Amino acid sequence: MRDVSLFLRAAMNGITKRHPTSLELVLFLLHLHVMCNALHIEDIMQHLNAEYGFQTNLMIDLTGNEHTWEFLEKSLESKVPKILITHLDATTSNLYKLFNMEILSIVRMDVMHLNLTLKLMDELLWRRHYTKIIVDFHGEGAKDANNELPYIFHRFWQQGHTSVLLHWRNATYTYTPYPSIQVHSVANLWDFQKLWQMRNFHQYVFKIPFMEFPPRCFSYRNRKGNLIRTGNFYKIIEGFIEQYNGSMEFEFFDIWNMGLNRDYANEKISNAGFRFIPTQMAHSEMYDSSDALHFGKIYFIVPASKEINQSLYLFVSFNPHMWMMVALLLLILFLFIVVVNYRKYGKGNLVDSLFHAFKIIIFIYDEVFVGKTLFNFMLHLLFLIVGLFLTNSYVCNLSSMYTSRIYEPELKTLNDIRLTKLGIHVFGLDYDQFLSIENMPPVIYERMFVGNDTEFFAYRQKLQLVNIYMGGDDIIDYLFFQQLYMRKPLAKYISEPMYTLVFAITIPHRSPFIEFFNRYLSYQKDNGILNKFKRDSQWDGVISSSLKFFQDPITNRSMSMAYLQYGFVIWIIGMFTGSFAFMFELYYSKRRVNQRV
């Protein structure tokens, strides 16, 4: 068969020189030959390298005998760069950290070195265990393929190697894992690809942890009493399993009452046999994750700003700069009236001039200067414009503020948290993770505390913000859906994120489903299904009574004495000042009379 391949290559070279138009036909015949008859290791390597465009060949041989170099020579015809590993301690690095993992692994092993070889493969192909593997197995110690191969393929399955082609005793084998390990003899590479692409789980049981963590994963009973499981993360997993004829087995965790810690969660994910975790977990080397669902952010949920004190409306109608301008204008008018009175009438009554200036500002003045002259007319016209402009501006601003209401400044940055007295209540499982985040304002670390997780869930769910809470953007969109019909929301989030992260579904290491699941996930993202799951989870929250639409409280919008509180204070101060000025003038005039006498 190898001679036939060489003959076809030589024929191709000759034909292309004489008849270039025959190149496509020769290439097709050569490809057809390899696909139908590629049972030798070197032919399989050559075809897979050409078919999938692998950029590296990883060659592993720990047998340490004279056949190692023969094993290497078989692959030299390929021009693909190669990495040869012949010792267990040759490398301690995971290859995905060093190389592009468009890689084809060629492994030579025997019964004696089976465990060591699998251990080395597990380390080298860490997080990339789903890549294609060719195994040249020399099982001189093994007698019966029917007994040995299921065990060998089971070991591959445990390490997540699903695309394996094993060559043994001039025969080629692969396996399918559903519903149990089944060994298949492969006559050609087309058979291998057909079996590898077969996606029917045959009711294979996927063990899934379930928790009440809306909107990602939660449940409720419908009107008929049937248990409905839903959530934007859960729906992705459920759709994947059901579409390919799998089944699910659930283990419930009451995460809000059991006092979870990081070590317990990591141990459960790694060793409890779960296939998918329907929530976002903190990044860890203890487990793997799917491709990104989206690039998310973690925000602080804070109470919405409150309405300012009713008595302050009289002052906030103008900003501080405007009030400074009014004060400056008052001073200018006062000095102007004093100077004009002194120049025209030879007297400068300071108190009278001050009251005239006040009356001009508030637009209730009478004749300031006696006499119908053009000069007086121009001055009164100036006073009219000034008073009319200031008074109408103030009244319009005040009326609009009474209608729309004015609120205290919102919290916009993380540093603004210091302006409140609220603590930051953190879910116990996330506390260590949040403390490890760097470059946050010191007030964040000072205010964070771990309280009762049940209260954390209940208060955050109902937006009863006795403390500040944290949540991902998906959780915030879910919780704030309750405020859809509110004119003034109860809660907001600080627009500056606490930190950013990639949202993904947590998957244990060595998962044999991760490559297939990522492909399914990409289809869902491209079709917009993930956005639909997000919207559905919000309405499922309403149906389950987990969410309840809030309504604005009924408030009395009529004016009250509180709005005029400072107005009365100003009036009393004015009356006191006027009385004091009157008494002072009376005393001064009597003193002048006495001096004349």
Residue (of 178, 172, 176, 181) closest to 196 by Cα position: 176
217 DSSP assignment: B
Residue (of 478, 498, 477, 502) closest to 426 by Cα position: 498
Q: CB-based contacts of 210: which residues, under 8 Å, 6+ apart?
A: 217, 219, 229, 234, 250, 251, 252, 253, 278
Report yes or no on 490 lying in a domain.
no
Q: Are residues 119 and 236 in the same domain?
A: no
Report yes or no on 431 lying in a domain.
no
User: What are residue 258's phi and psi, to 5 degrees?
Assistant: -95, 0
Q: Are residues 249 and 321 in the same domain?
A: no
Q: Are residues 57 and 181 in the same domain?
A: yes
CATH of the domain at 147: 3.40.50.2300
Report yes or no on 146 lying in a domain.
yes
Q: Are residues 191 and 209 in the same domain?
A: no
Q: What is the pLDDT of residue 187?
A: 84
Report yes or no on 364 lying in a domain.
yes
Q: Are residues 101 and 188 in the same domain?
A: yes
In DSSP notation, 415-440 reads: GGGGGS---EEE-GGGHHHHHT--S-
Q: Are residues 282 and 232 in the same domain?
A: yes
Residue (of 56, 71, 156, 157) closest to 108 by Cα position: 71
Q: Are residues 247 and 330 in the same domain?
A: no
- Among 139, 163, 196, the domain boundary falls at 196
Give me the tens of pLDDT residue by residue for the chain, a chain 597 residues long.
444 344 434 444 444 444 445 555 544 444 444 444 446 778 888 888 888 889 888 989 888 766 666 666 666 667 888 888 888 887 767 888 888 778 999 998 888 889 999 999 999 999 889 999 999 888 665 556 667 889 999 999 999 999 999 988 888 899 999 888 999 988 888 888 887 777 889 999 999 999 999 999 999 999 889 999 999 999 999 999 999 999 999 999 999 998 888 889 999 998 999 999 999 888 888 899 999 999 999 999 999 988 888 777 778 888 888 889 888 988 888 888 888 877 777 776 777 788 788 888 877 777 677 667 677 777 777 777 787 788 888 888 888 887 778 888 889 999 999 999 999 999 999 998 898 898 899 999 999 999 999 999 999 999 999 999 999 999 999 999 999 999 889 999 999 999 999 999 999 999 999 999 999 999 999 999 999 999 999 999 999 999 999 998 876 666 666 667 777 777 888 788 878 877 887 887 888 777 776
SS3 content of the chain, % helix, strand, coil (to 5): 50, 15, 35
Q: What is the pLDDT of residue 453?
A: 93
Q: What is the pLDDT of residue 69?
A: 64
Strands 424-426 and 448-450: parallel
CA–CA distance, 279 with 215 (Å, rounded to integer)? 9
CA–CA distance, 476 with 463 (Å, rounded to integer)? 10
CATH of the domain at 373: 1.10.287
Report yes or no on 18 lying in a domain.
no
| Domain of residue 361, residue span | 310-406+563-596
Q: Are residues 130 and 79 in the same domain?
A: yes
CA–CA distance, 522 with 390 (Å, rounded to integer)? 63
Report yes or no on 452 lying in a domain.
no
Q: What is the pLDDT of residue 467?
A: 95
Q: Please give the angle made by the CA atoms of 52, 123 and 233, to the nearest 5 degrees.
A: 70
**pTM attached to this predicted model:** 0.79
Residue (of 421, 355, 360, 358) closest to 388 by Cα position: 360
CA–CA distance, 489 with 304 (Å, rounded to integer)? 7
The answer to whether 285 and 262 have CB atoms below 8 angstroms apart is no
When divided into structural domains, the chain yields a total of 3
Q: Are residues 180 and 127 in the same domain?
A: yes
Q: Are residues 53 and 100 in the same domain?
A: yes
- Among 163, 196, 229, the domain boundary falls at 196
CA–CA distance, 384 with 261 (Å, rounded to integer)? 74
Q: What is the pLDDT of residue 558?
A: 64
CA–CA distance, 486 with 551 (Å, rounded to integer)? 5
CA–CA distance, 542 with 548 (Å, rounded to integer)? 6
Q: What is the pLDDT of residue 597?
A: 63
Q: Are residues 98 and 190 in the same domain?
A: yes
User: What are residue 168's phi and psi, to 5 degrees?
Assistant: -150, 125
Q: CB-based contacts of 576: which residues, under 8 Å, 6+ apart?
A: none
Contacts 24+ apart (CB under 8 A), 310-313: 310/560, 310/562, 310/563, 310/565, 311/562, 311/563, 311/564, 311/565, 311/566, 312/406, 312/566, 313/398, 313/401, 313/402, 313/406, 313/563
Q: How many residues does the chain have?
A: 597
Secondary structure of 560-584 in the HEC alphabet?
CHHHHHHHHHHHHHHHHHHHHHHHH
Residue (of 357, 356, 361, 363) closest to 323 by Cα position: 361
CATH of the domain at 277: 3.40.190.10
Q: Are residues 138 and 211 in the same domain?
A: no
Sign of CA dihedral 33, 34, 39, 41: positive
Helix and strand tally (H, E) in the chain? Answer: 20, 19
Report yes or no on 360 lying in a domain.
yes
